[in-house]
Structure 1
C-alpha cells in the first residue's frame, strides 16, 4: 500500500528540504512506498500523484497540524478529481500528544526554562475547526509545561478573527519582566518561522520537522487508516 504525504507547499528551499526529509524518514520506517505532494505553491499536486497510481491502494496522510480548509476541502477535492477509487484519507496530524511532546522538546532545545511564559505560535487561520484544534494543542502543551500557554498566529487570518500576531502576544506575555518562549506549531521552515524568530521573544523553538514523535505520529495515522481500509 502506497502512503501519500500531502503538505501545503512553500517557496522556502529550506522548507521544501525539511518536508522532503520528513518524507524520507517516514519512508525508512514504512513497509510500502511513500510519495509526497503539495496542495499549493509547488507540485506535484495530489491529484496528479493519485492519477498516476492506477488502482493501487493508497493511504493519504495530510501533513497539516489542524483540520482547516486544506484538509476538509482541498484534499477531498484532489481525491475526487483524481478518480482514484482506493484512497483512504487519515485525520490531520494535530492536535495530538505526539506533537505536544515534540513542541516541548523543541522548546527545551532552544533554552526554555520552567517559569518562562510560553506562546504557541501557529500559522494563522479563520477556520473555526482549525482554531479549535490549535486551542486543543495549546491545552496539551500547557499540561506539559505546567502553566497556561498563550496562542498567537504568525500571520493574520483571512477575513479576520483568530488570534493576535505573535509579536503582540509576546509583548503582552512579557509584562512583569518574564522571559518569553515561543513554541513553533509549524512543520517546516519558511516565512512564518522567520516571523517567529523576529517577534522579540527570548526563546524561539525550531519547527517540529523530523522530530521522532512526528514520524511516529504519521506512522500511527497510517496504521489507523490501514485498519479502516482492511
Structure 2
C-alpha cells in the first residue's frame, strides 16, 4: 500500500504579520494543490520550528524549503533540526529559488510594477555569506536577465555586498536615467520595506501572493516524494 508523504513547508519566519499571513496562505494553497497534509514550519524567528513539526508528523515526510537560495538554513540548519527531531528519514527537497516559475514570477511582478524596457535592473536579495548561495543568486539574476533581455545586477539588503542602494547608485553613475528593482523576496516584511529607500524608480512587490509560487512548491514536493517508500 502506498501513501503520499506529508509536506512540511519550511519558511524563514518574520515578525511582520503580513509576511506571516502570506506564509500561512501559501501553505493552504499548496495543500489544496497537492491534496496531502501540509504543515507550515519556521526555520527561524517564529514557532513551530521545522524540527518540532517534523517530530509531530507521523509517517513519511517531505520538507520543501521556501528559500530563494541554498544558504545556511537549507544546507545546515534545517537538516540539523530534522536530525535532532529524530527525523533523519525526512526528505529535504531543493530550495525553491532555482525553480523556473519563481523567476517567471519575478519577471511578471517587475513588469506589473512599471518596469520599462530601457530601465536598468537590480535583483534585490536578502543576502547571504554562503558562497554557494551567492552563486545561485547570480544564476537567478542571469535567468531574469534572459527574460528581460537586459543585464541584471545583484544587490543585497541585509548581508553582503554590494547593497541594492549601491547598485542603484552605480547604475545611475553609468548614465542610466531609470532603475528598476526586482524583489527576490517571497513575502512582505522588513527587508522589502527597506527597498523604498534605495533610490530606484520602480520597486516590484514580493513574489507572494502569486499562484505560480504555490505550484512551484507542489512540484518540488512531487519530485521529492516519488522515490519514497511506504
TM-score normalised by structure 1 residue count: 0.94
Q: How does 1:60-209 map to 2 (within 5 A)?
A: 60-157=63-160, 163-175=161-173, 176-209=175-208
The separation in 1 between residues aligned to 2:183 and 2:210, in whole angstroms, is: 13
The separation in 1 between residues aligned to 2:145 and 2:187, in whole angstroms, is: 22
The separation in 1 between residues aligned to 2:88 and 2:153, in whole angstroms, is: 43
| Matched residue, 1:3 | 7
Q: Per-residue displacement from partner, 1:154-195 (whole Å, max 9, x unpaired)?
A: 1133xxxxx311111111112324211000000111111011
The separation in 2 between residues aligned to 1:167 and 1:73, in whole angstroms, is: 30
Could you tell me whether the CA contact under 8 Å between 2:119 and 2:176 is conserved in 1?
no
- Alignment match of 1:17 (pick from 15, 21, 41): 21
Could you tell me whether the CA contact under 8 Å between 1:184 and 1:206 is conserved in 2?
yes
The separation in 2 between residues aligned to 1:156 and 1:59, in whole angstroms, is: 29
* Structure 2 SS opposite 1:147: coil
Task: For residue 104 of structure 1, report the CA deviation from its aligned partner.
Answer: 0.6
Task: For residue 214 of structure 1, report the CA deviation from its aligned partner.
Answer: 1.2
RMSD of aligned residue pairs (Cα, Å): 1.2
| Matched residue, 1:160 | none
Distance 1:85 1:127, change over 3 A: closer
* Structure 2 SS opposite 1:43: coil
Q: Would you identify which runs of 4 or more consecutive aligned residues in structure 1 move more than 2 Å?
A: none
The separation in 1 between residues aligned to 2:116 and 2:152, in whole angstroms, is: 14
| Matched residue, 1:45 | 49
Could you tell me whether the CA contact under 8 Å between 1:156 and 1:164 is conserved in 2?
no
Task: For residue 86 of structure 1, report the CA deviation from its aligned partner.
Answer: 3.6
Gaps of 5+ in 2: none
Could you tell me whether the CA contact under 8 Å between 2:11 and 2:42 is conserved in 1?
yes
The separation in 2 between residues aligned to 1:156 and 1:51, in whole angstroms, is: 31
Count of aligned residue pairs for this structure pair: 224
The separation in 2 between residues aligned to 1:139 and 1:85, in whole angstroms, is: 35
* Structure 2 SS opposite 1:228: coil
Could you tell me whether the CA contact under 8 Å between 2:16 and 2:188 is conserved in 1?
yes
| Matched residue, 1:221 | 220
